[in-house]
Structure 1
Amino acid sequence: MALSIMAGCWFGTLWLVVFLLLMALLAGKGRITTWLCLPLACLYGVWHLHSGLQQRLPDALEGKTLTFTGQVISVPQNRERFRFGRWQHEQHFLFLADSHPQWSGTHRIRVSSYDPEKRVNAGERLQVQLRLKAGRGQYNATGMDLARHDLAAGVSARATLKGAAVMGSAGGLDFWRQQLSGSVSAAVDSSPAARAVLPALVVGDRSRIEGGLLSGFQSTGAAHLLAISGLHVAIVAGAIWWLARLLLAPLCQWLWAPCRRLTLQQLAWFPALGAAALYSALAGFSLPTQRALIMLSVMAVASWLRRTGCLQSSLGWALLLVLLIDPLSALSESLWLSFGAVAIIAILMAGHGGRRLMLLLPLMMAVLSAALFSQWSLVSPLVNLVLIPLYSLLIIPLTLLGAVTGLEVLLEAAGTGVELSVLVMEWLVPLSDSMAPFMPLPSVSSALCLLAGLCLLLLPGLPFPRRLLPFWLLPWLTQSLPPLSEGQWELTAFDVGQGLAVAVRTRDHLLLYDTGAAWSGGSMAESLIVPWLSRYGLSIDRLVISHGDNDHAGGQRVFADTIPRLSGEPTRVAGSEACRAGQQWHWDGVTFTMLWPSVTTFSGNDASCVLLVEGNGWRALLPGDIGRDVEYRMLGQWPQTDLLVLAHHGSRSSTSAALLREVGPRWALASAGYQHYFGHPHPQVLKRLEESGVTVLRTDQDGMIVFRGGGPDNVPFITKWRHDFARPWHRQAGWRFW
């Protein structure tokens, strides 16, 4: 039944329900009642999926500013970030908005506030002016799918705060959590790492974890230690269970005779579940803690009923209860990770000792994490072998005891443990980075094959020879993009929001033109481009950074210094040489020609490298952010092209009518952010392109775009990720049979 609910949430179509119903009818009279549960469970998942989609922001309200009343229902995250040439304070929080005349019902909205006049507090009741925006995010072959993430979390929209007035004072659980977070952070103020990590372990406040500290935890596979999850709740419940079994349960049996009807193990579950519930409350009853509570409750009920069912049975019941309570959690990576970890433990425990379990579990979890989060953590088995006992036995217990008792000495001792864990990660991060290029990232399907092969390897008996097991590696080892012939090229425009990142692939070479934006602790290149390169076993032969603005050059630091770099502003792009008109190189029958800049007096947008790609009679023009002045200066020199990447994301200051007449493109590609306040591509540019008969491709609407010339009847292959690989949550709610 749990799998049926998952299938309903992931596919959202009725054909699967009908198929399961037919299976139930064919099962026979004796089993039809049991089999009918499967189509009903699937329909339950489909119904909840479409109910969740109907709660999302309507298209008519996209980009509008409305006034809401409601309450702050999360601990606000406060950050200082360098944006637009200055340091800016940001605040992010979850807001439960009351019903509005234009948007009925209550809705959870994730609000971002930039340089607010007054910071909001958890639990406050506010009247706010919000500029609304759907949680679309970027959609590429790799990277996070924000639409699915928000749907799983019950977030209906995202918004920018334009104004706020306090209607009711702060209070309640969330306000107390905010106060506790501040006091814990202040107690270890002398340790930057402890000040950031300890509030995350107590109340789930991760707002202080950023920059190098966050990337260190992520690259070593230890990021799960920062989020209060099943591991943390299980540690607390397990410690209280052992203490209650040794001390409290015998005392209860001695003082109160009815307790003697239960064993010490059964009595110990009451305080253990109570402690788990209190810790989950500290974390704001996040979805991972709710799942951990349900799993522990299943185990407690089995103990009270004196059922000694196997771990697989308990896991199945727990998963079913989780999905019955919150079906859309089936779309969450954290559910797959947590239940996947327990399932792997159950498989490994069947006939294997504890030592083998400790060695094989991190390996299988590394494969699962690589598929879910698009990042190898090749040193994670070693890191977790050290850090999980350190956090389980020292840091988490001392942190919670210090937070509850107010003893700063305990928090300082926990902070010392955090500093030790950071030293371990700093020592191992270079090792992980050096190993990653040799391990292609698995897709979800190839990761499942890898895990299946490892599980079969561990079984005591197989119905086929073990020498056939390496065939399970083939889906992973044969991941590749379609081959290209001599003279053929393929252009991939990544969906990087308000920025530009384009990869041009020939038969045996790859050029990356711009890298998207970067921010404190991350970049588009790190989260999208590097996983894409790793999955398909590609390496960059040349990097062209059009100019030095962050939305074009921000991610170039991610790539190795040994990669040759060209830039229109070499003084702003470290390690690059100046690109100049007339530069040319040939790869696999494809010619790359630099058309601009021809002089060195330009800077900023007008200094952008303008690159022409041509092969097999197909041409593409990549003009960076040049404006009309450069376009007019080059009149008479522009070549005819098939594909034009719009300069400056389709800004009104570029793509003049004179340029379009001379270039005569058949397709134009705009790389811009969805509903961005710059408003790119500009309506005047779009009208100009329409009047010229140009077909417009847009990353904000189409997601990642792949353009490859040389198709049948001289028509190119064009792949639009949001259309060709659309999932139910990328569309409007609506019942579909197929």
Structure 2
Amino acid sequence: MALVKNNWLLSSYSLTLLSSPYWPKMPDMIYCLVPVFLLFFSLRIRQLRYIIGICIAFLLILFHGNLIKRQSDILFQSGHDITINAKVDSFFTQNSFGYTGSVRVLSINNTPVEWWRQPRVKLYTATELHPGDVLDVQVSVKPIVGLLNEAGFDSERYYFSQGIVAKVFARSEAQLKTIGDSFRYRLFQHVEQQLQDNPFRGIILALSFANRNELSESQWRLLKNSGLAHLVAISGLHIGIAYTFGFFLGMPVSRFGRYFLWAPVISGGISAVIYSWLAGFSLPTIRALLMLLIHIVLRVSHIRIGLRDRFLVTLGCMLTINPFVSISVSFWMSFTAVFFVFYLVSLEKDRSQQLWLEKLKQQVKGHTALMLCMLPVSAGFFGGISLVAPLYNLIFIPWFSLLIVPLLFVGLVVVTLGGFAGLIWAGISQLLEPVIWSAAFADGVWIFTSAHMTHLFVGLTCILLLQPILSSRIIGFFFLVFWGSSIGRGETTKWQVDILDVGHGLSVLIEKNGHYVLYDTGKSWPGGSMSQSVVTPVLRWRGARNLDGLILSHLDNDHAGGRFDIEKVWHPVWKRASQRLPGYQPCSQGTSWRWQTLKFDVLWPPKQVVKSHNDESCTIRVSDDAEHSILLTGDIEKHSEQEMLQQNLPLASEVVIVPHHGSHTSSSLKWIKKVQADVAVASLAGMNPWHLPSPRIVKRYRDNGTQWLETAISGQIRIIFQQKKRQFNTIRRDTLSPWYRQMLRKQVEWRGYSR
């Protein structure tokens, strides 16, 4: 509280900026008149001076927010197919479609764009490009439409945190106007060539140039599970090491007289700037460099301010440069670490008279407390924690700080001077071997955290921070609250169905009393699947321990592409499919079973088949004793619908999963009337090449009095059944939908989305 009371201007300024990415709407620039008038009156009315920080922050938010909205509008106002002149500002990575990387758009259809309005976009192209390349290319511009579920990767938030406002897909071969020949890229090429056969090439390039494209999947997994992944991501630690390296280089110069006393500080600052430049001035690097430069300025100018004030000044400067940085994972990692360091130091008494053993104990205690404070950040953003991270960091942060990174600087200097640094790279490899070797022992101690565990970590961390000003009774009360919230509530009649947002495909999760059945898995692709990126994170976020059942409607990739991942990770107790598969029971007409109090009735196909197609999709009616029901349909088409109608099967259901993603080949009028659903849910991707759902089908359902929902617009859709009640929730409608999502998606105003 003292921090807020004594530093209200900086605190209110920073808190207002921190909130800006989560605003539901970004006001137009005309609204800047409001804070301007308030600032004017605050100079005359003393009581209004408390809002000065808020007003200044509001002005800054309006400027930055409207600027990035203008950058987005510039791209789309010339149509979806345009010709751009752009400059590459990142390394390109290879994917299944070719290569992708970020570029800065310099002109559109031969019309130059002012430098401050130049939008940053994600370019997908068939050819590899390099930093500094300037090119002309015909592209198709697409809004950024990401999947949105309760857990899993959030591409909309990620792209916005990187300053990217759209995706562009090359329709022609890129015509290079200028080949990137920057000194940084030439240095990168030289180092890359010298590391050609080095097993730690990916780690060295990541530490040197912030290029993690060469990191092997196994190395990244080991580093993540041991809590050491942050050591290969250039951030505050590395910039601090660079400063220290330069500081010691400048020490001999400081002995030449009083005019050279600041040589170590200046040399350290230059070293930090050079290292930041090598890292491409990435956002985490800029934040770390800014913190360091503020420290240098305060030291050189002999300005003495407290640690709390220094922290607030640093935070305010970081947010001034980019007010929307609070949606970035790296920001919260840096913010938490820096805050806790300042917090610990502010609580400590003068240690100048302490024995070295006491100082060591304080260092270990502070380091351990810092690791504990990072647990909720790791749990919230990465979905898990490493139990051995404090121990590994205690050992290997000094290892990197004192040996690996300084030796890396020496190697870069040698290469810069035109030499061959083979022996140095070999030495770094020898130093990295024990890191990877020991990290292998942590491979099984990564603990995935549920929503409840994450909230528990956050709560306990807050108690830890507030412990000096809270009484033991209050702390005890909070512990009882957390303990009570972890106690199970026993069996209930409630059950819920979640139609996950998996793009073009289907994955339906049925939950009752903490147990789960999965109907379809979504698609897969080389190196990944919706099971890995959506289904598994959602199950882990729920705290699921296993999967009771897995049902595959049919074997098309968009429905069953992730089945191997589900089988490997979740080991379903029972499995059913309409196609004959080893270990799978039949999912065919006439089959029924009970799962807790729910009844599963298979209506289609008539028998299990050797090869299942759309019309052999396993169609199941799930119901309870309170007459709630949902019809799971897969990709059945009109032929199957007609057969079911002729057999007079019990199709009537409260909710229906729209067959075949709303294609005109399904959902015949007679079938819709027979089902007589209150709600129809379509699982599909926005802007899909098949132009689904068919407007005719949407109209057909609505004309029948059925409410229409789809994952492309609503994100994950949840249906909760309890006794005689039914409740619908959608991620986009029922959770905070910030303004930047609306901007990136262009308010879902592309073709066919006037629904």
Q: What amino acid does structure 2 have at the position aligned with 1:248?
A: V
SS in 1 for 2:305: coil
Q: Aligned to 1:227, which of 205, 229, 233? A: 233
1:285-684 equivalence runs, <5 A:
285-349=281-345, 350-351=347-348, 353-406=362-415, 407-432=421-446, 435-436=447-448, 439-441=449-451, 447-457=457-467, 459=468, 462-465=469-472, 468-469=475-476, 471=478, 474=481, 478=485, 485-486=492-493, 488-519=494-525, 522-539=528-545, 540-556=547-563, 557-558=565-566, 560=569, 562-568=571-577, 576-597=584-605, 598-615=607-624, 616-635=626-645, 636=647, 637=649, 639-684=651-696
Distance 1:677 1:472, change over 3 A: farther
Question: Partner of 2:259 in structure 1?
Answer: 258
- Contact kept? 1:650, 1:670, Cα under 8 Å: yes
Distance 1:39 1:45 in 2: 10
1:182 and 1:567 map into 2 onto residues whose CA distance is 53
Structure 1 residue 699 displacement after superposition? 0.8
Alpha-carbon distance change, 443 to 672 in structure 1, aligned in 2, over 3 angstroms: farther
1:284 to 1:485, Cα distance in 2 relative to 1, 3 A = same
- 2:698 match: 686
Residue type at the aligned position of 1:119 = E
Moved more, 11-20 or 137-146: 11-20
Contact 1:92–1:111 (8 Å) recurs in 2: yes
2 CA distance for matches of 1:511 and 1:337?
35
Matched, 1:134 2:143: yes
Alignment partners' CA distance in 2, 1:391 and 1:614: 58
| Separation (CA, whole Å) in 1 of partners of 2:483 and 2:145 | 29
The structure 2 residue matched to 1:249, chosen from 250, 254, 260, is 254
SS of 1:384 mapped into structure 2:
helix
| Residue in structure 1 matched with residue 122 of structure 2 by the alignment | 110
Q: Give the deviation of 1:623 after TM superposition.
A: 1.9
Matched, 1:187 2:183: no
**Counterparts of residues 54-65 of structure 1 (less than 5 Å):** 54-56=70-72, 64-65=80-81
> In the alignment, is residue 71 of structure 1 matched against residue 87 of structure 2?
yes
Q: Is the aligned partner of 1:49 residue 2:49? A: no
SS in 2 for 1:205: coil
Could you say if the C-alpha distance between residues 319 and 142 of structure 1 is closer, same or farther in structure 2, counting changes exceeding 3 Å?
A: same
State how far apart, in whole Å, the 1-side matches of 2:559 and 2:553 are: 7
The residue identity in structure 1 corresponding to 2:590 is G
Letter in 1 for 2:254: A
CA distance in 2, matches of 1:702, 1:135: 15
* Whole-Å separation in 1 of the counterparts to 2:227 and 2:390: 8
The aligned residue for residue 56 of structure 2 is 40
Are the equivalent residues in 2 in contact too, given 1:62–1:133 (CA < 8 A)?
no
- Secondary structure at the residue paired with 1:156? strand
Q: Which residue of 1 aligns with 2:10?
A: none
Relative distance call for 1:289 and 1:632 in structure 2 (3 A) is same
Matched AA of 1:617? E
- SS for the counterpart of 1:624 is coil
Report the CA distance between 1:2 and its aligned residue.
1.6
SS of the aligned residue for 1:56 comes to helix
1:10 aligns with 2:6: no
Q: Distance in 2 between matches of 1:397 and 1:477?
A: 50
The aligned residue for residue 209 of structure 2 is 203
| Partner amino acid, structure 2, of 1:663 | V
Q: Which amino acid aligns with 1:626?
A: I
Cα displacement string for residues 596-623 of structure 1 (whole angstroms, at most 9, x for unaligned residues): 3423233244454322211221221112
Q: Distance in 2 between matches of 1:21 and 1:475?
A: 46
Q: Does the 8 A contact of 1:641 with 1:663 survive in 2? A: yes
- Distance apart, 1:157 and its partner CA: 0.5
User: Quick check: 68-77 or 381-390, which moved more?
Assistant: 381-390
Hey, what's the Cα distance between the residues in 2 that align with 1:690 and 1:102? 45
Note closer, same or farther for the CA distance 1:271–1:521 as it changes in structure 2 (3 Å cut).
farther
Deviations 1:147-202 (A, max 9, x none): 233233221101222213324121354xx44444444344333345x232222221
Structure 1 residues 477 and 519: CA distance shift in structure 2, 3 A: farther
- In 1, Cα distance between the equivalents of 2:664 and 2:456? 45
Moved more, 310-319 or 17-26: 17-26
Is the Cα–Cα contact under 8 Å of residues 26 and 66 in structure 2 kept in the other structure? no
Q: Distance in 1 between matches of 2:697 and 2:186?
A: 51
Give the secondary-structure state (helix, strand or coil) at the position aligned to 1:602.
Answer: coil
* Identical-residue share of aligned pairs (%): 26
- The AA in structure 2 aligned to 1:171 is G
1:27/1:221 Cα in 2 relative to 1: closer, same or farther (>3 Å)? Answer: farther
The SS at the match of 2:105 is strand
CA distance in 2, matches of 1:464, 1:398: 49
Where 1:140 maps in the other structure, the secondary structure is coil
Alpha carbons 1:375, 1:531 under 8 Å: kept: no
What is the SS of the residue equivalent to 1:317?
helix
Greater alpha carbon shift after TM alignment, 318-327 vs 503-512: 503-512
Residues in 1 aligned to 2:52 and 2:472: alpha-carbon distance in whole angstroms:
38
Alpha-carbon separation, structure 1, partners of 2:66 and 2:654: 41
Question: Per-residue deviation at 1:98?
Answer: 1.8
Larger displacement relative to structure 2 (386-395 or 233-242)? 386-395
- Superposed displacement of residue 320, structure 1: 1.0
The answer to whether the Cα contact below 8 Å between 1:6 and 1:42 also exists between their aligned partners in 2 is no
Q: For 1:242 and 1:428, locate their aligned partners in 2 and report how far apart those are by CA, in whole Å.
A: 35
For 1:39, give the aligned amino acid. C
Structure 1 residues 228, 717: CA separation in 2 closer, same or farther (over 3 Å shift)?
Answer: same
**SS class of match (2:167):** strand
From the superposition, tell whether residues 62 and 10 of structure 1 become closer, same or farther in structure 2 (CA, over 3 Å). farther
**What are the Cα deviations for residues 117-151 of structure 1, in whole angstroms up to 9, with x where unaligned?**
x4333222212122222223112222343323323
In structure 2, distance between residues paired with 1:136 and 1:480: 39
Instruction: Provide the C-alpha distance between the structure 2 equivalents of 1:448 and 1:62, rounded to a whole number of angstroms.
Output: 47
Superposition deviation, residue 698 in structure 1: 0.9
**Structure 1: gaps spanning 5 or more residues:** 82-87, 734-738
Q: Say if 2:142 and 2:167, in contact at 8 Å, map to a contact too.
A: yes
Residue 85 (structure 1) aligns with: none
2:120 aligns to what SS in structure 1? strand
2:20–2:324 CA contact under 8 A, matched in 1: no
Displacement of 1:75 in angstroms is: 1.8
Q: Residue 208 of structure 1: CA displacement?
A: 2.6
Give, in whole Å, the separation in 1 of the partners of 2:579 and 2:487.
34
Q: Which amino acid in structure 1 is aligned with residue 428 of structure 2?
A: A
Cα distance in 1, alignment partners of residues 622 and 393 from structure 2? 47
> Which whole-Å CA distance do the structure 1 matches of 2:482 and 2:14 have between them?
27
* Structure 2 CA distance for aligned equivalents of residues 442 and 201 of structure 1: 35
Letter in 2 for 1:727: P
